Amino acid sequence: MSLELRIIEPTEIEEILDFEMRKLMDSIPDETTRTFHVWNSRWRREALEHYLKLGWSFLARDEGALVGYFLAQPLLFFEGQTQSLWIEHIQFNSLQVRDALCDLGYRLSREKHFQRVYFPNSGSIGNAIKPFTPTDWQPAVSLVKTTRT
């Protein structure tokens, strides 16, 4: 596998949506249930449009085929840190792609002198970031919902 990792272009939104829908069809066969899932997903169209404009989201290709990506944005002056990278969502087809994307987020943050990287807290990501000695993030913040959802 020869991975190409690069910044996602806004013109690649449709390809990312297709990639996610193919993965979703494998796990949620019912079309109505899939539609509701997409509405609450971290990769819905308006989220992609937001993240891709910022230039911190990356994709992975293997021989031209999309095999993974992450959506990210910098956080400035958050939790007492000057700069942090917030990775909102990571999707991948293999553990090798997962590891490459997590490594890229970490290396990019070090190169740009960010103090922290916030990765999604999922079991599959935990193994990829273990070499970086992750710490569970437990902010001293209360959440107040402003909608009825």
Per-residue confidence (pLDDT) for residue 95, from 0 to 100: 96
27 alpha carbon, distance to own chain's centre: 19
Per-residue confidence (pLDDT) for residue 147, from 0 to 100: 75
Chunked mean pLDDT (size 10), the chain, 149 residues: 94 97 94 93 96 98 97 95 96 97 96 95 87 86 74
Is CATH 3.40.50.620 correct for 3-132? no
**1 to each of 16, 59, 64, 108, 112, how far by Cα in Å?**
20, 15, 11, 22, 28
pTM of the complete model: 0.92
Structure tokens at 88: 């909102």
Per-residue confidence (pLDDT) for residue 137, from 0 to 100: 86
Per-residue confidence (pLDDT) for residue 62, from 0 to 100: 97
Per-residue confidence (pLDDT) for residue 70, from 0 to 100: 98
Per-residue confidence (pLDDT) for residue 31, from 0 to 100: 93
